[in-house]
Structure 1
């Protein structure tokens, strides 16, 4: 059996936070997705790693042993990946990470024109793995949706992106062009409550309400939209992603009363490539706020 390094990292976060909720926030992923990964790790090992009591989530004896061994293993694996990727990468290669809903082609084209000696590659990422791509060196720079873990990345804010509500086309509210978050208080929220703190739905109407099992919630955007289309509830997502994931059985409504998500450019703080600064300047000029 081969241990999954990413699952080990998730395990260490839960162990250090003594909470799936806090660990999910720290990892910038949903609690259902985190719970599934920990459950898969436990299945691989054939042991229970956590127990729940009145104090919260606590490590079992097997969990304490794994935590002791996992920390140095993770540190070694990160250092190994970075050394190998750096050694293998051609000196003239520059890799850009992007995600659905953020149009980067004009930026990449302009950057390539200004740096003709570089081979510029573009790699697809998502909100759930954008941090991993930056940490392990698969990309030099990445367009991200904030927040990111503090103290690790150089972040260049670009623009605030409004969020929309995805509803089944059959839902009565879908006939509107816009809704307020309070209009959806009786509609089940198909994501973790911390993703939409402005929502004040009643506990009985939400599968993501306190005390409910969040592991049954959809995880990927495709799963979320299937659940929305079936009439199971609504999902809040960035407007750019809604443009990317158009489908005939889902309506995207302008959503009032929720904070936008900031789209930014990010790269590892310790990186000193001059190309990073050049790419940042082009991105800020093309996507950033207009000068005063």
Structure 2
């Protein structure tokens, strides 16, 4: 059977997202008849309809739902390959590396400075990005490497551990937990906790301290305010709107009279890693990874690549 080409997948994606062939054709900058023909040709090759059609609307069939998910992956991978290839073909090679502001960029600057002193080092462009945008930049091909910290998904990535630290509870001064010398994750049950954009069940469990098997049971945290960065987390805690689990370095960088930081004995650690996409890497990436490993006495690289030392899984991105 003839495989799809990228043009056909773009045509299908527009129709599937718009669920209106006229709007899809307008979005693609073509007339409707060639779009309709292309979709009919795809359906004939597949032997299955992609859309249920009525007089004035279309909706996806089960086969169409499947192709929608797969088409997005293929088109994203093609775009990422194009970006990486263009960067690799530059006359003066450069690495684009991304990290979250604050702790992440400080660590990255330390690595980049050491790397720049080495013979043959490429120019480094550091991109400061928001919550969990680092992982997305790697997958889209917009960055060659990224500093990630828990929680993130290792699927399709290789990672080099850099450092790990305990998490503490940030609670409002005067809160019932503020006078404790130590807490356990179960003590936070029922307390309002900050919500992050794009939260999943895995990330909610991490931020609420329910990501370890021993602490996963128990009541869900109450919904607290939506936050976009760590400074907002500390503000909502200070206002008495939430409690939060934060890395130890956040406590050190944010001493406040309205916030008390209490150790949490059984909270999972906050880990920071250097990450890059699976697959072949150039000498510039290899040298940068070796530089980071030397500075932080890191363990072996992990991920899903052919020379990885551990298997897949979600590790408990970025603060």
Name the TM-score, length of structure 2 as normaliser. 0.58
The answer to whether structure 1 residue 145 and structure 2 residue 149 are counterparts is yes
Alpha carbons of 1:252 and 1:106: their partners in 2 closer, same or farther (altered >3 Å)?
same
Q: How does 1:51-62 map to 2 (within 5 A)?
A: none
The answer to whether structure 1 residue 276 and structure 2 residue 285 are counterparts is yes
**Secondary structure in 2 matching 1:252:** strand
Extract unaligned runs of 5+ from structure 1: 1-7, 13-60, 209-215
Q: How does 1:88-99 map to 2 (within 5 A)?
A: 90=90, 91-99=92-100
Counterpart of 1:101 in structure 2 is 103
Alpha carbons of 1:141 and 1:228: their partners in 2 closer, same or farther (altered >3 Å)?
same
The answer to whether structure 1 residue 226 and structure 2 residue 228 are counterparts is no
For the 8 Å contact 2:205–2:216, the answer to whether it is kept is no
Counterpart of 1:159 in structure 2 is 163
Extract unaligned runs of 5+ from structure 2: 1-12, 18-58, 196-200, 300-319
For the 8 Å contact 1:190–1:234, the answer to whether it is kept is yes
User: Please, which of 207, 221, 242 is the counterpart of residue 222 of structure 2?
Assistant: 207
Q: How does 1:10-89 map to 2 (within 5 A)?
A: 68-69=67-68, 71-84=70-83, 86-87=85-86
The answer to whether structure 1 residue 288 and structure 2 residue 297 are counterparts is yes
Measure how far apart 1:157 and its partner are.
1.3
Alpha carbons of 1:117 and 1:223: their partners in 2 closer, same or farther (altered >3 Å)?
closer
Measure how far apart 1:173 and its partner are.
3.2
The separation in 2 between residues aligned to 1:122 and 1:247, in whole angstroms, is 31
Alpha carbons of 1:168 and 1:268: their partners in 2 closer, same or farther (altered >3 Å)?
same
Measure how far apart 1:151 and its partner are.
4.6
User: Please, which of 232, 242, 249 is the counterpart of residue 240 of structure 1?
Assistant: 249
For the 8 Å contact 2:184–2:265, the answer to whether it is kept is yes
**Secondary structure in 2 matching 1:189:** strand
The separation in 2 between residues aligned to 1:75 and 1:248, in whole angstroms, is 51
For the 8 Å contact 2:162–2:297, the answer to whether it is kept is yes
Alpha carbons of 1:182 and 1:146: their partners in 2 closer, same or farther (altered >3 Å)?
closer
Alpha carbons of 1:242 and 1:80: their partners in 2 closer, same or farther (altered >3 Å)?
same
The answer to whether structure 1 residue 266 and structure 2 residue 266 are counterparts is no
Measure how far apart 1:70 and its partner are.
5.0
**What count of residue pairs does the alignment treat as equivalent?**
225
The structure whose Rg is larger is 2
For the 8 Å contact 1:185–1:199, the answer to whether it is kept is no
The separation in 2 between residues aligned to 1:160 and 1:117, in whole angstroms, is 27
Alpha carbons of 1:249 and 1:200: their partners in 2 closer, same or farther (altered >3 Å)?
farther
Measure how far apart 1:148 and its partner are.
4.2
Alpha carbons of 1:114 and 1:285: their partners in 2 closer, same or farther (altered >3 Å)?
same
Counterpart of 1:29 in structure 2 is none
Measure how far apart 1:75 and its partner are.
1.7
Measure how far apart 1:266 and its partner are.
0.8
The separation in 1 between residues aligned to 2:168 and 2:161, in whole angstroms, is 21
The separation in 1 between residues aligned to 2:69 and 2:266, in whole angstroms, is 42
The separation in 1 between residues aligned to 2:190 and 2:152, in whole angstroms, is 31
CA RMSD, 1 decimal: 3.5
The separation in 1 between residues aligned to 2:80 and 2:190, in whole angstroms, is 47
Name the TM-score, length of structure 1 as normaliser. 0.63
**Secondary structure in 1 matching 2:153:** coil
- Larger displacement relative to structure 2 (189-198 or 259-268): 189-198
